[in-house]
Structure 1
Amino acid sequence: MHSRIFQISTMQIEKGNYLNEDTLQQGDNSFYDYCADIDDETRKRDIAYLVNLTLPKGMFELISEDAMRYNGGIEQWKEEYVANLRKNAAAVTVDNMLEWSTTYNLQKAIENPLDVSYHFYLDGEGCQSFAEQSFAFMAFVCTLEPGTILYIGGVIDYHF
């Protein structure tokens, strides 16, 4: 399956520091079979899709093709996140704890609360060797003030 990795930072990202197909470990002992660069038009379309359709509605707005504004709303999202964790934890019982789907749903609710295959690379300098699932991005958002501008650097395709 294919998806995208988005590089996001609170500081503008120089083109030379953009995430690219060679930034992350790929192949054996890696989550990624391979990574690939995408063209500029696809990048713009993917960023618009992320901001307008994937992230929590109204929490962000695209202000340029490389930047989005955080509008607030993390407190409500945190309440929904905890409620979803409780619901999934309550579904685990002594009788079904060994069933794959039961524990998988709880794990997914913890690590990937946005329920997307997108990953997030939260390093504007391009030195980090990993990208993370949506919880890491939302934890990052918890540190932001409304009105904060987030800059989008490299966007790459990955296969898993």
Structure 2
Amino acid sequence: MHSRIFQISTMQIGKENYLNEDTLQQGDGSYYDYCAEISEEARKQDICYLANTALPKGMFELVGDDTMRYIGGAEQWKEGFVANIRKKAEAITTENMLDFIGPVYQLEKALENPLDIAYHFYLDGEGYQSFAEKSFAFMEFVCSLESGTTLYIGGVIDYHF
């Protein structure tokens, strides 16, 4: 399967620091089979989809080709997250706890990837980080932002898993 990794920072990202197909470990022993560059047109479309569809509705607005603004809504998102985790935890019983892709697996997925998207996030504007993260890490980052914060999008790459 293919998806995208988005480099996002509160600081502008110089092109020389953009995430690229060689930034992350890939192949044997890695989550990524491989990473690949995408076209500029695909990058713009992916950023638009991220801001307008993939991320929680109403929390972000696209303000440029590679910038979006955090509008707010973290408190409401956290309430929904906690309610969802509690619901999934309550579904676990001694009878179903070992079921393959059962409620324990569903709880793990909800904890790691609460947005239920295949996108990953590279939260380093300088290009030193060697890994990207699932949506919980991105939302944890968002919860630390003030309303009106501008987010800059650097490299956007394809990955296969």
Q: Same fold (TM over 0.5)?
A: yes
- TM-score of the pair, normalised by structure 2: 0.99
Structure 1: segments with no counterpart, 5+ residues: none
- Tell me if 1:143 matches 2:139: no
Aligned residues: 160
Q: Secondary structure at 2:68's aligned position in 1?
A: strand
1:100 — aligned with what? Answer: 100
Task: Spell out, residue by residue over 1:17-42, the C-alpha distance to the aligned partner (whole angstroms, 9 max, x if none).
Answer: 00000000000110000000000000
- Distance in structure 2 (CA, Å) of the matches to 1:150 and 1:130: 19
Task: Spell out, residue by residue over 1:18-67, the C-alpha distance to the aligned partner (whole angstroms, 9 max, x if none).
Answer: 00000000001100000000000000000000000010001000000010
Shift of 1:133: 0.1
- Distance in structure 2 (CA, Å) of the matches to 1:89 and 1:50: 29
2:159 — aligned with what? Answer: 158
Alignment RMSD, CA only?
0.4
Over 2 Å off, 4+ runs: none
Task: Spell out, residue by residue over 1:59-102, the C-alpha distance to the aligned partner (whole angstroms, 9 max, x if none).
Answer: 00000001000000000000000000001101110000000222
1:47 — aligned with what? Answer: 47
- Tell me if 1:90 matches 2:90: yes
- Distance in structure 2 (CA, Å) of the matches to 1:124 and 1:87: 36
Q: Secondary structure at 1:156's aligned position in 2?
A: strand
1:114 — aligned with what? Answer: 115
- Tell me if 1:15 matches 2:11: no
Amino acid of the structure 2 residue aligned with 1:115: D
2:35 — aligned with what? Answer: 35
- Tell me if 1:133 matches 2:161: no
- Tell me if 1:78 matches 2:78: yes
- Distance in structure 2 (CA, Å) of the matches to 1:159 and 1:126: 20
Amino acid of the structure 2 residue aligned with 1:117: A
Using the aligned pairs only, state the percent identity: 73
- Distance in structure 1 (CA, Å) of the matches to 2:11 and 2:94: 48
Amino acid of the structure 2 residue aligned with 1:140: F
- Tell me if 1:60 matches 2:60: yes
- Distance in structure 2 (CA, Å) of the matches to 1:86 and 1:64: 38
